[in-house]
Chain A
Amino acid sequence: MIVINRHKCGHCGACVGVCPENAIDLVDAWVEISDKCIECGICVKVCPVGALEIQHEG
Chain B
Amino acid sequence: MKDEYDVLVVGAGPGGSIAAKTAAEHGLDVLLIEKRAEIGNPVRCAEGVGKESIKPFIESDPSWISAEVKGARIYSPDGTAIEMSEDIAGPEVGYVLERKIFDRALTLQAARTGAEVMVKTRATGLIIENGFVRGIRGEHFGDDFTVRANIVIGADGVESKVGRWAGINTTLKLSDIETCAEFLMADIDFDQDYCDFYVGNEIAPGGYAWIFPKGKHEANVGVGVLGSRVGSTKAIHFLKKFVDKSCSDGHILEIIVGGVPVSGPLERTITNGLMLVGDAARMTDPITGGGIVNAMITGQIAGEVAAKAISKGDTSTKMLSEYETRWKSAIEDSLDKSLHAKEVLTKMPDGQLDMLAHSIKDVNFGELTATSLLTEITRRNPKMLWELRHLL
Residues of A within 8 A of B (CB): 10-20, 22, 25-29, 42, 45-50
Contacts and interface: CB of A to CB of B under 8 A. Distances in A.
A25 B125 CA distance: 12
Given A46-B227, A48-B259, A17 B160 contact: yes
A19 to B, nearest CB: 7
Interface in B130-181: 157-161, 164, 170-174, 177, 179-181
Nearest to A10: B257
Given A28-B35, A28-B122, A29-B36, A16 B158 contact: yes
Given A13-B157, A20-B171, A45 B227 contact: yes
Interface residues of B, number: 33
A46 B256 contact: no
Nearest to B223: A48
Interface stretch (B208-216, B230-238, B286-294, B325-333): B230-238
A49 B159 contact: no
A49 B259 contact: no
Interface in B10-53: 35-37, 42, 44
Contacts, number: 89
Main SS at interface, chain A: loop
Contacts of A13: 44, 157-159, 259
Contact of A46 (B42, B181, B259): B259
Contacts of A26: 159
Given A28-B37, A49-B236, A14 B171 contact: no
Contacts of A14: 158-159, 177, 179, 227, 257-259
Contacts of B389: none
B238 to A, nearest CB: 9
Contact of A17 (B36, B37, B257, B259): B259
